[in-house]
Chain A
């Protein structure tokens, strides 16, 4: 008898949760879509149309890059919006990048991550990510002084892992950009 009552309580709870989930499902989807739209607007303020590019063929080599969208405005193609991520200290560090047609980095936005506040989180400061803005991606980036064939980036002091994660994420995005550049017309 006690077990039956417990089961009933469990079932009722599950039912209530299922109902709540249903009620909040659509609003949550809308929220995600709105957030995505807002991000797109931040990165390409003039663009009105975002067309996805199929990058599945390249994702085996660059698994961190999750999506690429061609941003078009009334005047034509503005550039490419790429979402990329690389494992940092507290998990993935996702970044949204706006490339212009030549592969130069116009803007970038950090999505939520778990880097250490006061240390790894400092990669979100202009002092660090500003080093990427306006740069062309003909050369990839590196935080190591020894890699002379790449453009040198100063890591955040004491947060090499987070800095490197962001750098690698951007490198992957830049590589993907080069691979799909032909389709960006």
Chain B
């Protein structure tokens, strides 16, 4: 239990997937301009990450590794993720159109989201068992959501500020991101104090 909490909290706070591991930067910079889109994107990411982990972990340990096919990991994983996103999109469109209207537009972006492929590969690299992988992926998704929300708030403030011309647009966004990332450094001692 303690180990699960350590995995969860380090993925969310200490080693945040976006601000520390730099996975999922593209949507982080692209879609975090307002809270509503941040929310939609994060929910979509969390769902896809969990389902993707639930699929890729068994595929690796029951299909690829026993047959000495571990070199096919990258190809299989990304195709599974791409197919998964496609299937989810189709299912949502047909059965829950309201959800599709709300979240559907974010789904294609998730295929190329480094965080999704990244966390599925990381779970294998770190030799996590199934439960640990699911927890790690949940932490990744929630960490992503946390980073998106915080950043959406920061960006809406920056929008109203008087930014020097050269820094307008992406540069000031990146500099704000650096400050948010810096603030997460405060969590570095958290795991130690809570669990050690």
Same assembly:
yes
State the A residues within 8 Å of B (CB).
Answer: 13-14, 17-18, 20-21, 87, 89-92, 114, 116, 119, 158-161, 164
- Which residues of chain B are within 8 angstroms of A92 by Cβ–Cβ distance? 127
Q: Is B72 an interface residue (CB 8 A)?
A: yes
In the complex, are the beta carbons of B126 and A160 less than 8 A apart?
Answer: no
Interfacial chain B residues near A89, Cβ < 8 Å: 10, 191
Cβ contact within 8 Å between B192 and A158: yes
Instruction: Decide if the interface of chain B is mainly helix, strand, loop or mixed.
Output: helix
Shortest beta-carbon contacts, A-B, top 5: A91-B126, A160-B196, A21-B71, A160-B192, A161-B196
Of A18, A87, A161, which contacts B191 at CB under 8 A?
A: A161
Question: Beyond A17-B75, A158-B192: 15 further Cβ-contacts under 8 Å?
Answer: A14-B72, A14-B75, A17-B71, A18-B71, A20-B71, A21-B71, A87-B3, A89-B10, A90-B15, A91-B126, A91-B127, A116-B188, A119-B188, A160-B192, A161-B195
**Interface pairs (27), CB distance under 8 Å:** A14-B75, A17-B71, A17-B72, A20-B71, A21-B71, A87-B3, A89-B10, A89-B191, A90-B15, A90-B126, A91-B126, A91-B127, A92-B127, A114-B126, A116-B15, A116-B188, A119-B188, A158-B188, A158-B189, A158-B192, A159-B192, A160-B192, A160-B196, A161-B191, A161-B195, A161-B196, A164-B196
**Interface, chain B (partner A; CB < 8 A):** 3, 6, 10, 15, 71-72, 75, 126-127, 188-189, 191-192, 195-196
Most buried by A among B3, B189, B191, B192: B192
